[in-house]
Chain A
Amino acid sequence: MTFSEETLMAYVDGELDGPTREQVARAVAADPEVARRVTAHQALREKLRAGFDPILKEPVPTRLLSLVHNTPASKPAQVLPFRKPPARQRVWVQWGSLAASFVLGALAWHFGTQSTSSGPITAKQGEFIATGALQEALDGQLAANQPPAADVLVGVSFVSRQGEYCRTFRLRGADAAGLACHESQGWTVQVMAHEPASQDQGPYRQAASGLPSAVLRIVTDTIAGEPLDAAAEAQARAGGWRAKPQH
């Protein structure tokens, strides 16, 4: 009885059902050529495992651990919901306005000393609109291709339930992160949160690292479907981030 190479591979991979497995096992015992082919497949499997298994014993980088550890709600961040706060959060919002002046102060200081351009956020008609470096980043930066020294790092982009494009961002140096959605008057900041800098995260605070849980919560409430992939993100930018027609 002859076996195809794929059958012998499936045998080594434990994918054959009972009767076929026994046929191959008998052939391995009886036919040196079958045995040699099976051994070669097993040897390759072992070589690959030997090459990659040591990775399991490496210490997991702090940046990955803190990404998962940071998310539990037990670690409060300073949060300012910029719009439409639900009534039940009113007390919290009043506290939040203190945090708001703190964060905006930090932003004004950071960007005021960094460049001559305007601050990153301007209040217009009851909304907070991204301006300056933040607006430029939200308009132009793609998550996969950002200048390493950028003041603003863009994270996840997605389409909201209202059909608008939304993007998370992190303001480096101000230790603040937030979410903005593209509306008729520009990028409207939905939420910003300040997280005290923590030492072990310091060198790793990049676009893709964990968002403050408060921002993540708004993202989850806002998102329709899945985050955009790189191609969809580039396409949205090419279209000027104009809202997708609702179906």
Chain B
Amino acid sequence: MPAISEALSAQIIELLPRLRRFARSLAGNVSDADDLVQVAIERALVKCDQLHAGAPLAGWLFGIVRNAWIDEVRARTRRRRVFVAEELGEQVADPNSAHAQILPVQQAMERLPDEQREVIGLVLIEGLSYREAADIIGVPVGTITSRLARGREALQNMLGGSEQEQP
């Protein structure tokens, strides 16, 4: 096997929940997102000789998930919206469930242009710095800043700004 140590596989397993969350912010529905993580892990295992001791594993894996999304999973254009509609339909019966609160946010994310969605996912959801996000996507920090600004504005418009919640 490409020398993956027990320690490395333990680290990857520890990161799986965050990789799934990031994939969900990109791919929308659960099955597409988990397919994305699966493709990314397979690629990562093939490439893990690139990984040096002390390398920032999380950033490396986020980058592989992001690239896999760009060139594989997104190309499939599965029936994403139908999925969402079905899930929403199930949730209507129980408006107090946590999912009823989650879905509008996830749906709003799906409606963002891809280049804004990935930046919002990395910075606002995963909590990466602008610099880290810039390295993963391969653009200057200034581009991250402007995409974040446009993405935030679009999300505010879709979700309703905080001012609407005030009486």
Contact = CB atoms under 8 A, between A and B. Distances in A.
Interface of A: 5-6, 9-10, 13-15, 36, 39-41, 43-45, 47-58, 60-61, 63-65, 67-69, 71-73, 143-145, 155-156, 206, 208-211, 213-214, 216-217, 219-220, 223, 226-227, 229-231
Given A54-B98, A56-B17, A64-B38, A72 B163 contact: no
Contact of A40 (B4, B21, B109, B162): B162
B46 A40 contact: no
Say what secondary structure dominates the interface of chain A. helix
Say what secondary structure dominates the interface of chain B. helix
Interface in B49-88: 49, 67, 71-73, 75-76
10 contacts: A44-B156, A49-B124, A52-B25, A60-B17, A64-B37, A64-B41, A208-B38, A208-B42, A217-B1, A219-B46
B41 A67 contact: yes
A220 B102 contact: no
Contacts of A211: 42
Contacts of B155: 44, 48
A64 B16 contact: yes
Contacts of B114: none
Contacts of A40: 156, 161-163
Interface residues of B, number: 57
Given A40-B162, A50-B102, A209-B38, 16 more contacts: A48-B105, A63-B38, A64-B41, A67-B45, A68-B9, A68-B13, A73-B1, A143-B72, A144-B72, A144-B75, A145-B75, A208-B35, A216-B2, A217-B2, A219-B2, A227-B43
